[in-house]
Chain A
């Protein structure tokens, strides 16, 4: 499987960060979950959330109500929406395929990442 992130590299403060992860050579209909992780100098690596092809989601509580992860099975894509962004949301954002368990998940395959800067 291969994953590729896409979306705007610059988002204004208080705006919404929207990213797409395109899944190729594999299907999001599989038994895996599909995650978003970001990496910033200040916060290090931070798991944001994940989704199953059936629509179930898990989110990092630190993001409270700002995050929505969705998927489009027909396009074999999943998405990240993060609202009310600030400079603290500046990071490299990765999508990843995850092995899910009832207690947590780890990340078996990652995309190349996309740098998103929050600035006016």
Chain B
């Protein structure tokens, strides 16, 4: 199966900052890459699919890029509600696999 590796594991940032999260695949996944946000006690939320397509109602400060094996999720001007864990997931080859997550915490 395809291994997904996210970095860093934890990122301490201040509100208002811009942040970039990375996701690497062990083999090419083309652009079949999704990003999710997970807050404690809440359901995961789809942010991005097809590497760069924002899901419904996702603010424009979230953007995704990349293809092949290297992907990034960028959040410009962090809001308080953005502090959460972010997961990437490939769907280019069964079984679907997830990264281990990057936790954004308040600095």
Chain A: residues with CB nearer than 8 A to chain B?
44-47, 58, 60-62, 94, 99, 101, 103-113
Contact indicator A45/B98 (Cβ below 8 Å): yes
Would A62 and B98 count as touching, CB distance under 8 A?
A: no
B46 proximity list for chain A (CB < 8 A): 106-109
- Shortest CB-to-CB span from A50 to chain B, Å, is 9
Contact check, B95 vs A60: say whether CB atoms are below 8 A apart.
Answer: yes
**Is B55 on the interface with A (CB-CB < 8 A)?**
yes
Chain B interface (Cβ < 8 Å from any Cβ of A): 1, 32, 34, 36, 42-46, 49, 55, 87, 89-101
User: Do A62 and B95 have beta carbons less than 8 Å apart?
Assistant: yes
Count: A-B pairs, CB below 8 Å:
63
The answer to whether B98 and A104 have CB atoms under 8 Å apart is no
Given known A-B contacts A44-B98, A94-B44, A103 and B93 have beta carbons under 8 A apart: yes
- Known contacts: A45-B87, A99-B49, A101-B32. The answer to whether A106 contacts B44 by CB under 8 A is no
Q: Which of A45, A46, A99, A111 has most B Cβ within 10 Å?
A: A45
Supposing A44-B100, A45-B87, A103-B32 touch, asked if A110 and B45 sit within 8 A by C-beta, the answer is yes
Secondary structure class of chain A's binding surface, majority of residues = strand
In the bound complex, what is the Cα–Cα distance between A28 and B106 (angstroms)?
40
Across the two chains, which residue of chain B brings its CB closest to A110?
A: B43
- In this complex, the member of A44, A107, A108 whose beta carbon has the largest number of chain B beta carbons within 10 angstroms is A107
Question: CB within 8 A of A94: which of B34, B43, B99?
Answer: B43
CB distance from B100 to the nearest CB of A (A): 5
Question: What is the distance, in angstroms, from A9's C-beta to the closest C-beta of chain B?
Answer: 15
A44 contacts B101, CB within 8 Å?
yes
Given contacts A99-B49, A101-B32, A104-B91, 16 further A-B contacts (CB under 8 A): A44-B87, A45-B101, A58-B94, A60-B95, A61-B95, A62-B1, A104-B32, A104-B90, A104-B93, A104-B95, A107-B36, A107-B46, A109-B46, A110-B45, A112-B42, A113-B43
